[in-house]
Amino acid sequence: MDMLPRPSRRRSGARSGRTAPPRRPRLPPAKVKLPRVLELLQAALLGVVQGLTEFLPVSSSGHLLLAQQFLGVDQERFGLPFDAAIQSGTLLAVVSFFWRDFLGMARALLRPARRAGAAEDPDRRMAFLILAATVPAGIFGFFFEDVLAGPTVRSPWVVVFNLVLVGALFLVAEAAGGKDRGMEKLGFTGALAVGLAQASALVPGVSRSGATIAMGLFLGLRREEAARFSFLMSVPIIAIAAGFSLAKAIVGGMDAHEAVIFGLGIASSAAVGYLAIRFLLGFLRHHGLTVFAIYRFALAAVVAVALLA
């Protein structure tokens, strides 16, 4: 004979006279916020890398590219617009460090050109040398922007090659030239030559400061004078490139978190960049570029091994 089904022992809260306890609201797990925290940390670290390597002759773009590769950062957040943002941080570093020089140049340019002694004014002359040195990089960046942003040019192997190539140029530059000339001996042809060196640094791994300082040494400038001119002439090209890329990023839309990421990167690159300028000017009074050449060779070897592994 079939057995009748037994009534269930479970009773609802309404039938038993009991009310079910209210459910506690679930808090979001901590790991939801972790990616945002990591992005802020990555932004600060990339700003430090930019501030340090923009002025030390070791290639800021190369180090940024390698840091982004090995940190596994999100290229949507940390692409070229972010690179431009942290470059604006180094722009703040240069302007704040050399503000007296820029103030003197601004005053010299505002004086009437026909005024007696205007042509011999060193501040006015420096301003025109900087403008002349800016032309090659401006032309090169304008016509080859898409190529420079492409995956071929931004390949880690391109960085490795340029680390070695420019490191070798450092050794040649140290062995050549008298390195005893001041800025008063640099003409407009020499400024254009330094500008061409700056244009070559649009390719990752070259180093803008390294290429321009090395060219200054080839022209016979003292190391400290070559570095000083390299830093001063960086302002127009960084301002143009960073301003253009930031404008595109802002027009494209930016949420509050992205704004914080950009701001943190700018602040860290500005602070570290200021210290890097102070260090390098003092270092080059008594030392050459050989130690930076050795560093570039070592870094290229480490990266090549990592890429082949």
Q: What tens-digit pLDDT sequence spans the chain (309 residues)?
A: 445 445 455 444 444 455 555 554 554 444 444 467 778 888 888 899 889 988 999 988 778 777 777 766 655 555 667 777 888 899 999 999 999 999 999 999 888 776 656 667 899 999 999 999 999 988 888 888 777 777 788 788 998 999 999 999 999 999 986 678 888 889 999 999 999 999 998 888 899 999 999 999 999 999 999 999 999 999 998 898 778 777 776 676 667 777 888 889 999 999 999 999 999 999 999 999 999 999 999 999 988 998 898
Q: What is the pLDDT of residue 80?
A: 65
Helix (H) or strand (E) holding 67: helix 60-71
94 HSE (CA, 13 A, CB side) = 24
Give how far Cα 190 sits from Cα of 29, 133, 182, 233, 280, Å.
61, 9, 12, 13, 22
**pLDDT at residue 30, as a whole number:** 42
Question: Of 63, 9, 8, 73, nearest to 35 (Cα)?
Answer: 73
Angle among Cα 130, 132, 136 to the nearest 5 degrees reads: 110
- Show Cβ contacts of residue 266 under 8 Å, excluding neighbours closer than 6 positions: 47, 85, 86, 88, 89, 92
Q: What is the pTM of this model?
A: 0.80
Q: What is the rounded distance in angstroms from the CA atom of residue 222 to the CA atom of residue 182?
A: 6
Residues 6+ apart with CB under 8 A from 279: 56
User: Residue 55: what pLDDT?
Assistant: 93
Give the pLDDT score at 149.
73
